[in-house]
Amino acid sequence: MADRYLSFTATAPGRFLSRRLGLPQPAALRRWSPEHPSLTGTLLHLTAGKSALLDLAPVLSRTGLPLGTSDPAAVVLDATGVRDVETLAEVHAALHPVVRSVAASGRIVVLGSPLDADDHQQAAVQQALEGFTRSLGKETGRGRTVNLVRLTDAPAAESTLRFLLSPKSAYVSGQVIGVGEGETGAYDDDRPLAGRTALVTGGARGIGAAVAETLARYGAEVVVLDVPQAEADARRVAGRLGGRALPLDITAADAGERIAAELPDGLDVLIHNAGITRDRRLVNMPAERWSSVLDVNLASVLRTTDALLAKGTLRPGGRIVATASIAGLAGNAGQTNYGASKAGVAGLVRALAPRALAGHGVTMNAVAPGFIETHMTAAVPLFIREAGRRMNSLAQGGLPVDVAETTAWLAHPASGAVNGQVVRVCGQSLLGA
């Protein structure tokens, strides 16, 4: 469903009226397209404190944005060397003069270091960067985003920096992303998943179909899994993408074994997207509504992940990306079942990711969508729908492609140093963000 308020505020009368009434003034976001694959403008590289990254400049030079000093499309502030309150002041000094000059739909990325448990001053001021970036994200307006990346090795963060400094991250803001060390592989701009097989559960429609389409654009052979009742839709999506459909109830006890049998040559990317809602307040929620949501959204993820890892179906260098939700991170009235299931997904990712990497060479991350414009949200009553759209720093709903692009970044062969992360795709929702 079209966002008519967004369209109205883009007109002169709409801008005047919304300004006079103190209403949100969302900016049309610039998203990736073949015609506009990168931001337009320069990249401004700033430093606060003594940088801990000796190899950052070559990485930034490969983001597709030329380094410059004026009218930036993006700003990267290297604050990895901030270790006390005095050098924290340099964060203000660096960004204060330039924030207004960042282009509409521009990017501000702050680079921080992991917290040092043996240095409480460093831990305090590096933690302060989280509050700073999230607050700045709620101030900047005009479709700009602000994110914090914690890293120790710039080359390992290249895929993350390329994503955050591109139109593909249009609806990702206010996030703190940790990048470790590890094999990242060569970076391929065009078809990084060529020769790889990706399976998307719940891929017949909505966000799942957008994920399947984006992974196919990245070169993957896509297997679209959905319930047998949606087989026709799954085949249409798979046919359009040159992939194949797999009609299967993901809650079946042997779903993992059946997937493994269908993919005897192995799997490189596993996307856990299948999910349902059965909303009702707890006092009015029968057991069936609880159990059905937990079975689809959480138990099936646990069972199939365990089965595919145990059978070695996921090849070394593989990627698992699960779909959580901000409802699982912040809670939502009428969704105790859904919130529990999606919080469980986040817990699974954080607990299993280190072992999956150590034991199988596979990374595991999650995306947590906020209000995304789908057929499901189009059916939400008008006033609730409008509240969902406006209650984020970008004052609008996201699109399925926003979740898909974030998923594709985590599935990228060069994203091997990103593991155990839960990344919200919510426009920096005011709930729990």
Sign, Cα dihedral of 339, 176, 425, 274: negative
Compute the mean pLDDT over every residue in the chain, rounded to the nearest whole number: 94
39 domain-assigned: yes
- CB contact at 8 A, 433 and 326: yes
Among 102, 43, 38, 40, CA closest to 69:
43
Q: Do 172 and 201 share a domain, yes or no?
A: no
Mean pLDDT check: name the lowest of 7-16, 27-36, 357-366.
Answer: 7-16
Report which residue type is found at 153: D
| Residues 290 and 387 both lie in one domain | yes
pLDDT value of residue 377: 73
Q: Which two tokens stand for residue 14?
A: 């709409």
- Whether the per-residue pLDDT at 76 is higher than 70: the answer is yes
| Options 5, 171, 218, 338, the catalytic residue | 338
Token pair 């008519």: residue: 4
DSSP 68: -
* Domains: count for the chain: 2
237 and 203 in contact (C-beta within 8 Å)?
Answer: yes
Q: How far is CA 86 from CA 20, 89, 90, in A?
A: 41, 5, 7
Asked if 254 and 362 sit in the same domain, the reply is: yes
Per-residue pLDDT at 188: 74
Known active-site residue 187: no
Shared domain for 207 and 134, answered yes or no, is no
Domain span at residue 92 reads 21-178
Residue 53 predicted with pLDDT over 70: yes
Helix, coil or strand: residue 74: strand
Q: Which pairing describes strands 107-112 and 42-49: parallel, antiparallel, or unpaired?
A: unpaired
pTM of structure: 0.96
User: Is 13 a domain residue?
Assistant: no
CATH code where residue 163 lies: 3.40.50.720
If we measure between CA atoms, which residue out of 219, 214, 173, 179 comes closest to residue 196?
Answer: 219
Q: Is 162 contained in some domain?
A: yes
> C-alpha dihedral over 304, 305, 309, 312, to 10 degrees?
50
pLDDT score, position 70: 85
**pLDDT higher at 332 or 337:** 337
Tell me: do 157 and 203 sit in the same domain: no
